[in-house]
Amino acid sequence: MRLAILISGRGTNMERLLEAASEPGYPAEARLVLSNKTSAAGLDTARRADVEALAIPHRDFEDRESFERAMDRALQERGIEIIALAGFMRVLTPWFVGRWSGRLINIHPSLLPKYPGLDTHARAIAAGDEEAGCSVHWVTEGVDEGDVIAQARVPVLKDDTAESLAERVLIEEHKLYPDALAEACRQITRRPAS
């Protein structure tokens, strides 16, 4: 499946997806990395991996939907079949989510349904949770609400800060996302044609 990865920053999850997608037999092939920020470090990483990297700065558009229409055009032009959000920090409108429904997945640094939104690690520590983790899920209109495809868990340690916990979770994100993306591709392929 022709894959696009949407990022906003450093793109370490994107890098793991690009590595997986370059393996023979992997069910997705990276065609585009798209960022809403020209400064995203992940764009250079993608170029070094010989994958097209494109910035569409959201600030250049007067509203959310015209920004998303520009992204949608870029995705359609390249025949994209599945989109993986990897640290893409813009909330998507119902229009965009509806257009890509069933072909749009996200990685989130919590054990959903716990802690949708921001500051997930600080919230897990403040709540006294004994474990934390990450989830890959289908994207639906509600923020971080879609069905979970896969999760990974880590312990929360006594002296953890949000930063130390984020580091431990990120190691699991890097292992989880390539497998979960492959599973999402398989689920799409198994769906009856509409």
- How would you write the chain as a 3-class SS string? CEEEEEECCCCHHHHHHHHHHCCCCCCCEEEEEEECCCCCHHHHHHHHCCCCEEECCHHHCCCHHHHHHHHHHHHHHCCCCEEEECCCCCCCCHHHHHHCCCCEEEEECCCCCCCCCCCHHHHHHHCCCCEEEEEEEECCCCCCCCCEEEEEEEECCCCCCHHHHHHHHHHHHHHHHHHHHHHHHHHHHHCCCC
Among 31, 37, 103, 108, binds ligand GAR (CB under 6 A): 108
Question: Which one of the listed residues 58, 108, 121, 137 is annotated catalytic?
Answer: 108
Range 150-189, binding ligand GAR (CB under 6 A): 170, 173
Which positions from 28 to 47 touch ligand GAR by CB under 6 A, shown as an x/- string? --------------------
Q: How far is the CB of 36 from ligand GAR (least distance, A)?
A: 13
| C-beta of 9 vs 27, nearer to ligand GAR | 9
Q: If binding is defined by CB under 6 A, does position 133 make contact with ligand GAR?
A: no
Total residues in contact with ligand GAR, by rule CB under 6 A: 15
User: Residue 188, Cβ neighbours under 10 Å: how many?
Assistant: 16
Which positions from 60 to 89 touch ligand GAR by CB under 6 A, shown as an x/- string? --------------------------xx--
Q: Is 2 annotated as a binding residue?
A: no
Q: How far is the CB of 191 from ligand GAR (least distance, A)?
A: 26
121 carries an active-site annotation? no
Applying CB under 6 A, the span of 12-20, 22-30, 73-81, 186-194 interacting with ligand GAR comes to: 12-20
What is the four-CA torsion angle of 93, 29, 22, 139, rounded to 10 degrees? Answer: 30
**Catalytically active residues, by annotation:** 108
Residues near ligand GAR, by CB under 6 A: 7, 9-14, 86-87, 107-109, 134, 170, 173
